[in-house]
Structure 1
Amino acid sequence: MNDKDPELEALKERLEKAGARSAAASNSRSRSKPDPDLLPALTELAYFYHASGRYQEAEELYRQALNIVEQSESGAVSQQALEIMHATGFLLRLRERFSDAEPFYRGALEISQMLYGPDDPQTARRRNYLAGLYFAWGKFDLAEIEVEASLAAYRKIAGEESEVVGIASMALTLITSRQGKSDASRAHLKRATSLMPGTPHQCKFSTTGDLAAGLLVLSREKFKQGKQEEAEMLFRYSLLSETESLWPAHPLVAENVQLLADLYRSQYLPAEAEFLYLKALDIRRRVLGPDHLDVAVSAHSLGSLLHESGRYGEAMGYLKEAVSIREKAGFPPLLANALRSLAATHRALKEVDEAQVLEDRAEKIFNDYNPLA
């Protein structure tokens, strides 16, 4: 990304001003400790670099921010330290630097234990994040230890027969299966089956947490069918809530939500797919701007899904949005696909003349880009 990006320049200016104020205050009070006033600008700039794919710069800023927090009056044991530590660890995990990420994940867990206690839901969630790191790293024995600890906490918090116990049991089903512990895996699966919703259709979909639970239900069904790899893929996706808890508007969230929507659509779960397409579209509009090609992808997907459901009037707006964006930029055959989808919706509404104009445009584009012509 260009360093002259207006948002980036504004963030840098904020950091420079905060640094100047910090230096003046330090001189006047003869302080040597870094000023906590730098933190908001540091963490925002770190996030900006991360979202732009400039991971090394983001990592350096997160480490600076963590150093400031640890030397501040609130000290290393604070919610602010926990969040920055987790953000740093997750950034490293995304780059598959698992051994570097581990101390940050474990540090965030330890802070949570000190702030909230070992059996608090927030601490259990931190354990699950650490278990997810170990699972991605291939350290299944360590992942099992953390999820077992979470399971014990959930039993105390919500009771033996709660759905959250079933969800943790499904995670243990996959983890123990990976270790060749067939008897343990079957026992965990039996518990998961009895406590979780029977099918993905029975899951709620209003939050990312609901999404994670729904993915584990789908994972359970794939596991029962002997599709271990697909079950594990869905388990990894269920950890998406970790991404959103840190960076709710991160492009990575939108990208994965879009992929999950495609997955649910392929599983004939249109309501769930619609929820996800809407979420991906909202994030992309806000983060990337209304004319970005990724916005067109989400708008086209949502419009096509609504068309398939017979909701032609609703589909029309999203398909027009996709066409409008792709008319300005992008690969012309993708514009042709969007034109065809919009034409099909006009035909479904008996608007034959409008449909024909769009179909003719699409046909011309495809003919112009025919590699065999």
Structure 2
Amino acid sequence: MVLTLDRTRQAFVIAMALFLLTCVPWLAEAGTLDRWQTLTELGTAARDQAQYEDAERLFLLARHEAEQFEPGDRRVAATLNHLGLVYHAQGQYARAKSYYEQALARWEQALGSDHADVGSALNNLAEIYQEEGAFDLAEASYLRSLAIEERALGRGHPELAVGFNNLAGLYRKQGRLVQAESRFHLALALLAGADGATSIDPSPFLNNLAALYAEKGFYTYAEPLYRQALALRLERFGNHHPSVAIGLNNLANLHHAQGLPELADRYYHKALSVSEAAAGPEAALTGTILGNWAWLAHERGLVDEAKFRYQQALVIQQKALGRDHPTIAVLCERYAALLHGLGQSAEANLFAARAATIRVHHTHSSRSHEENQPNATSQEAQKK
């Protein structure tokens, strides 16, 4: 029933967009520019509400309109970037990377290497590099993006907060916690200095600083920040959004670390329900939550539950992230430990060996500090 309703809604949105663009006289006569603008606004609204299939269809239509402009028109690059954002939000990193690279090349050609749009494309590519474990490339791209935006916007501009938050997230992932904390605070200070004159969502900043405090064992500092971030998301998006699932997952992780397994279990259950509905049952976020919940069940001695969730998480994450991603190594190691405990040594050794093979392919500089943490906190970089 839900699937039918979703398809009906998607078809309705697309049909309405096409109707507006072809049948309403003032829009039909307005030309390509207004059609592109209307499709872009509809696509952005759909993406913000995590209606990714709607957003993809609308941006593909927008790309068709943009291709009618003069060669080198910046709106072609903008549309490619929008498509990258849609695929990125769904964990389709290879597709997102391709669109970001195309957008970057077009913007650099049309606007030069120091334009703010080039900085945005570099920021988005840096996120993909981080997901791939290419931390050196990610850092270089974040730093170049920040340098471009400082020149274009001026020091102290609130838009720079996004870049500092993302760079801080990278440093946290690498275990460079002092550098991470200083940049998280700088990002929040830039937002506070805007005095409400910005549309930037502060909840990812609060979430990431909370994750840093939780990692350092400062749980009393972390919990109110996590709760504040979740409250902002519920107010902005309602219950049905991947950002809400992230907030619930992170609170579950915190309660797990605090030694409150029953409370953690309840939050993982809520997080999974929201993620499956909003991001999809095969999304990387869904796999992250399942992996965390499996670890909790494992620690509690609920071996059947743990085994089932590890298996689910492995299937999802291999498809979403690739078979050689560091996250797969973590899941394989934990699943191997569970199997050893069950006396299934032959199968356990296979998973342990696979984890070791994945580790070999990632140099020490690219290893994530987060891999050594007890569960995967959903860190949030912001896209532009």
Normalised by the length of structure 1, the TM-score is 0.43
Computing the radius of gyration from Cα coordinates, the structure with the larger value is 1
**More contact order relative to length (CA 8 Å, sep ≥ 6):** 2
